[in-house]
A and B are shown apart, each in its own frame.
Chain A
């Protein structure tokens, strides 16, 4: 029998959480709108360049809707967003939404790779040190994690290039693919997946070797940050009465750890999961810049120099949006692991 009441309570919880993120997303849009209106000077002027003709300028201002009242401008901005219109980048000579669409898969690929390295290692280190409190290995991991949250990620990336490219010639320093190769047929936009799907072996090897260093650089923060949370979560649980009771009645240690303790120990890790995502997004911008990884983060870096305001605003807005979604998913996961939350 399916427990309908339980499922509907869960559905209500998800619905409530989703509704709660709406004002935040609206706030993000308002804030980015406000920031984009803080641009010193006339946006039409930056588009048209210094050798303008007053008449052309006026026409452009009209086209850009700059002579309309602010609330109408905001409405147009919002309506554009809903239709996926993020504006036009005059510096990149294309619409921002097509830029974002072409850059997003690369960033996603990098983020997934770093999470695939980061989360297992963080879980392992956290649980391992929790079971070995105050032994030398615990202290070693503690120092590593302190270093991991204190090192600038762009410096870590630079040093990885120095060691693995300059000294040992093991791995490539930048880019996503050997320049001599042509990119695989686009299916997902992620080189590793696409080359695997199309059976393009040289591309697969090349794209895998290119992702190692940036993914590693990016995963260090996740490992350092998450392993401490997992460790303290595990220690808290191991100190509880029900664990002591299960030990007292003679349950094997691995049953206690794996069946009873683990689930509760991971709760705090899920709550900070969203924070890790924020670190990841910031890390992606810096890491992509170091490794010439042409994703959304690299777009942010490129847009600083112009400055290419529409692209920059788009990346900032998207990163905020992703962060809100990450928070939402963390809330849901939390409810899955801890049924008390749903009530």
Chain B
């Protein structure tokens, strides 16, 4: 038992072995490629965009997909391709920052609750239960509205929605890891609590959190787009995929307005879901060995 677990930790610490497993898994590989593409768009999107995102031409009005505007133009004559490209950076950053904050806080809460147990555990997990008792989107709406429209309100809303999931999964790993021989060993040679948590328990919590992290990035993207769609997210005229769909809904005879931003969201969320599924399968394989 000692050996298997410590080997598993070092394997994921290297990261390279995990990547190799992931690439061997078809779902994971496709997910990885999709996400790599989106990361590329997030970095290079503005440079690739043929027009500025809020450029309103003086003569042109609403046109469908054409060589000049591959994805057509929206109600104000703005180029949809350019807006989709610009929004890639915004939407990716929103979910990345939000989920990372949620992960960090949830991880700490899970570690503390699982390791210290008793009343600390009770109090912390009861709080998490309450957060979990709200459907995520509704909680996000409430937070975003009370904090006021804007980038950081959404980031905080996404983070808060993510915290309980990470806390729960981390806590459950801590509870089982705490019983392992290598932890008992560390306690017996007088390692401090902080050191045990940091060096012996924390690394083991990372792999299940990683799966949730990837899937949460997709969910966060849906929440962020949903908030903007409802008018509680990124205010106009900033290009954001969910808000672009709102505009498309106002002109549903012009099919291209909603189709392209929707495809952009769906592709990204699908990529994160596939990556998550691939990670889960890749890690299961290593655990079974």
Using CB atoms and an 8 Å cutoff, list the residues of chain A in contact with chain B.
Answer: 23-25, 27-28, 30-32, 35-36, 38-40, 146-147, 149-152, 154-155, 158-159, 161-162, 165-166, 173, 278-279, 281-282, 285-286, 289-290, 300-301, 303-305, 307, 309, 312-313, 315-316, 319-320, 323-324, 327
> Can you report 13 A-B residue pairs in the complex whose CB atoms are below 8 A from each other?
A35-B142, A35-B146, A149-B269, A151-B262, A155-B258, A165-B252, A166-B253, A286-B137, A286-B230, A300-B138, A300-B230, A303-B145, A312-B141
**B230-A285 in contact (CB<8A):** yes
**B135-A146 in contact (CB<8A):** no
**A304-B230 in contact (CB<8A):** yes
**A161-B252 in contact (CB<8A):** yes
Residues of A within 8 A of B222 (CB): 152
Residues of A within 8 A of B100 (CB): none
When C-beta atoms are compared, the residue in chain B nearest to A319 turns out to be B138
Q: How many B residues touch A, CB cutoff 8 Å?
A: 44
Instruction: Identify A285's interface contact among B141, B145, B259, B269, CB under 8 A.
Output: B141
Residues of B within 8 A of A278 (CB): 135-136
**B230-A301 in contact (CB<8A):** yes
Asked if A38 meets B146 with Cβ closer than 8 Å, knowing A152-B242, A158-B258, A323-B133, the reply is yes
When C-beta atoms are compared, the residue in chain B nearest to A278 turns out to be B135
**B226-A320 in contact (CB<8A):** no
When C-beta atoms are compared, the residue in chain B nearest to A29 turns out to be B130
**Does B266 count as interface, using CB distance less than 8 angstroms?**
yes
**Which applies to chain A's interface (DSSP): helix, strand, loop or mixed?**
helix
**Chain B positions 141 through 171: 1 when the CB is less than 8 Å from some CB of chain A, otherwise 0:** 1110111100000000000000000000000
**B262-A158 in contact (CB<8A):** yes
**Does B175 count as interface, using CB distance less than 8 angstroms?**
no
**Does B86 count as interface, using CB distance less than 8 angstroms?**
no
When C-beta atoms are compared, the residue in chain B nearest to A25 turns out to be B133
When C-beta atoms are compared, the residue in chain A nearest to B273 turns out to be A150
Residues of B within 8 A of A36 (CB): 146
Closest 5 CB pairs of A and B: A27-B130, A282-B137, A155-B262, A150-B269, A150-B270
